[in-house]
Amino acid sequence: MTRKNQSQLDHTLRERALKLFPWVCAHCGREFDGKTLHQLTVHHKDHHHDNNPPDGSNWELLCLYCHDNEHQRYHVADSSAAAPTIHEPDRPSTFTPLARLGDLLKRKP
């Protein structure tokens, strides 16, 4: 039931956005008409779908491809900020330079 309400909401939201803005992708500038209009989607600039100001200032019309890219960029930036030490973990507590030095000395003739 909530799912249906959500899709109905999206539908009217999109129609409102299509009345407000020219049918052009805001990123690649591709133009749309009645035949291709289904490829034009409403993107929320702040990624909050509940933020729908009546003047459409949080909306952007994007084609399917640019919309995908936009969300991928967002997710990549999000995950790298959340886990900055995913490559090369720094663990000074298990790093034992003296033990390695000992190994090096033993190998010397």
- Residues, the chain, total? 109
Angstrom distance (rounded) from CA 49 to CA 58? 9
What track of x and - describes contact with Zn ion for positions 19 through 48 (by CB under 5 A)?
Answer: ------x-xx--------------x-----
Least distance to Zn ion from the beta carbon of 44, Å? 5
How far is Cα 10 from Cα 72, in angstroms, rounded to an integer? 21
Residue 63 near Zn ion by CB under 5 A: yes
Distance CA(54)–CA(17), nearest Å, equals 9
Closer to Zn ion by Cβ: residue 45 or 100: 45
The binding site for Zn ion (CB under 5 A) comprises 25, 27-28, 43, 63, 66
